[in-house]
Amino acid sequence: MVPISNVDGCYTFNKKYFSLQRIKTSKSCPRKDLQNLYSLKNFLGYTLYFPCLIYGPFMGYQRYNRITPKRNERNDWKLLIWELLRALSWWFLLQTASHYLYLHYMARDLMAVKAVDTVFGLHAIGYFMGQFFFLFYIVTYGLGIAFARYDGFDPPNKPRCIGRIHFYSDMWKCFDEGLYEFLFTHIYAELCEKHSPVLQKLFATASTFSFVFVWHGCHVFVLIWSILNFACLVGEKVFKYLISCPSYENFVNSKLKLQANGLQRLNAALATQVFIPAAFSNVFFISGQDVGEYLIKGAYTNGWWNYTMLTFCSYCFFQCSQVLLQIK
């Protein structure tokens, strides 16, 4: 049985998206075309589209309108079956892993987490919590995406694996594309533009995360998660600005005598200092305040050697993600 809260959340999101998109389009669209585009029939068809109504993904109304006619019924069936089999295989992997790794239980029980007696065991718990969270959405979003593509719609892409994300701005862009498009189009882009002053962009970012906080529930752990994500995104922007400054490159070349490869490695090592708190922030969202505080304290208060090893592992993740991104 599907929880009513999930259906209600998806329906509410679609209803808001439809209304905001209509307001945005009304500024440049003739009244007659506007009435045809945003008719009651289209409203009901979009908000109650069943494959995306249950667990998502969130599909913007502009995507819903980009329906394409079927070209080859046989190939469409093959693609649908293939996508469903992929989702089923990931579901089977998730269920098998849950049978041996009790991460769903540990995510809700601080005492179970404290039973792990190694620091890197705690880091592994945090990482696999994120991976299990990712797999859950691969399965649930994968089902909705498979049927939406079969029906000729242009749904958002599936979430990108968190092991392939090295800048957490990409987490917001690539984990839930539908939600990101809504946040960017109807909140962030309404408050600032590409060449707006820095303070205006900061205000737009803060307003966006304020909505995220309210949308996910006004709880303390959601507030901590939202603030950490906001701080890490700002830190990432500052980092990218600093490494693009000519004075930084001159300092590295003249003082440190680093070539292009050495400069890239130095930048990756520095970027991990933003990546680490951003990664641990997700534990608050997945597991709550108690487990989140315990794991992030373990990262920063267990001695310099532990943090050095954590930085090295994060650096390796960063470099691998960078290489995979370049290959793709």
List 104, 166, 186, 216, catalytic entry: 216
Which amino acid is it at 64?
Answer: Y
Q: Give the per-residue pLDDT at 239.
A: 92
Among 154, 158, 151, CA closest to 80: 151
Among 183, 185, 200, 171, CA closest to 321: 171
Mind listing the pLDDT tens digit for each residue in 78-89? 889 999 999 999
Q: Is 107 in contact with 291 (CB distance < 8 Å)?
A: yes
Instruction: Please state the rounded mean pLDDT for residues 21-30.
Output: 75
- What percent of the chain has pLDDT above 90? 37
Long-range contacts of the stretch 7-14 (C-beta < 8 A, 24+): 7/53, 7/54, 10/52, 10/53, 10/54, 10/55, 10/56, 10/58, 11/47, 11/48, 11/53, 13/58, 13/182, 14/46, 14/47, 14/49, 14/52, 14/53, 14/58, 14/59, 14/61
Q: Give the per-residue pLDDT at 68.
A: 64
End-to-end Cα, the chain, rounded Å? 39
Mind listing the pLDDT tens digit for each residue in 192-202? 988 889 999 99
Mind listing the pLDDT tens digit for each residue in 220-265? 999 999 999 999 999 999 999 998 888 888 888 888 888 888 888 8
Cα separation of 134 and 225, whole Å? 17
Q: Give the per-residue pLDDT at 3.
A: 41
Does residue 186 have an active-site annotation?
no
Q: Give the per-residue pLDDT at 26.
A: 74
Instruction: Please state the rounded mean pLDDT for residues 267-274.
Output: 91
Mind listing the pLDDT tens digit for each residue in 47-64? 888 878 877 788 888 888
* 25 pLDDT tier (thresholds 50, 70, 90): confident
The residue that leads in pLDDT, 2 or 99, is 99
Does residue 70 register a pLDDT over 80?
no
- Mean per-residue pLDDT over the chain, rounded: 86
Does residue 287 register a pLDDT over 80?
yes
